[in-house]
Amino acid sequence: QSALTQPPSASGSPGQSVTISCTGTSSDVGGYNFVSWYQHHPGKAPKLMIYEVIKRPSGVPDRFSGSKSGNTASLTVSGLQAEDEGDYYCSSYAGSNTYVVFGGGTKLTVL
């Protein structure tokens, strides 16, 4: 069982917006502004999409945005495109003993 809780699936039609949640505790998500999100297409290398809750690496479209409220972080994908389909994982710093924890992943389907 993963330390962070994500919905197993999410979906939306092209052009719509979808939000994926990531729920942790005050010891990880709620305690630090160090949440990151990864996109994974099976057989390929996972790709960093968001770091430090809201920051986008160079090359990631601004259709991807992150936020956090309390112990729950969220990834929003606006203007859904077929290429956005894949698995999305959240991660959080969890202190100087555990260091980093992940969610179980959410499969995003573009209808």
Partner 1 sequence: QLQLQESGPGLVKPSETLSLTCSVSGDSISSSSYYWAWLRQPPGKGLEWIGSIYYSGRTYYNPSLKSRVTISVDTSMNQFSLKLSSVTAADTAVYYCARHPLHHYGVQWYFDLWGRGTLVTVSS
Write out the residues near partner 1 by the rule CB under 8 A.
2, 34, 36, 38, 43-48, 51-52, 57, 89, 91, 93, 97-105
| DSSP-assigned states of every residue in 70-97 | TTEEEEEE-S--GGG-EEEEEEEE-HHH
> Partners of 88 in the beta sheet?
39, 106
User: Residue 1 Cβ, how far from partner 1 at the closest point, in Å?
Assistant: 9
Q: Name the CA radius of gyration of the chain, rounded.
A: 13
Nearer to partner 1, 100 or 111 (CB): 100
User: Residue 27 Cβ, how far from partner 1 at the closest point, in Å?
Assistant: 13
- What single letter denotes the amino acid at residue 48? L
Nearer to partner 1, 30 or 104 (CB): 104
6 SS3 class = coil
Nearer to partner 1, 13 or 44 (CB): 44
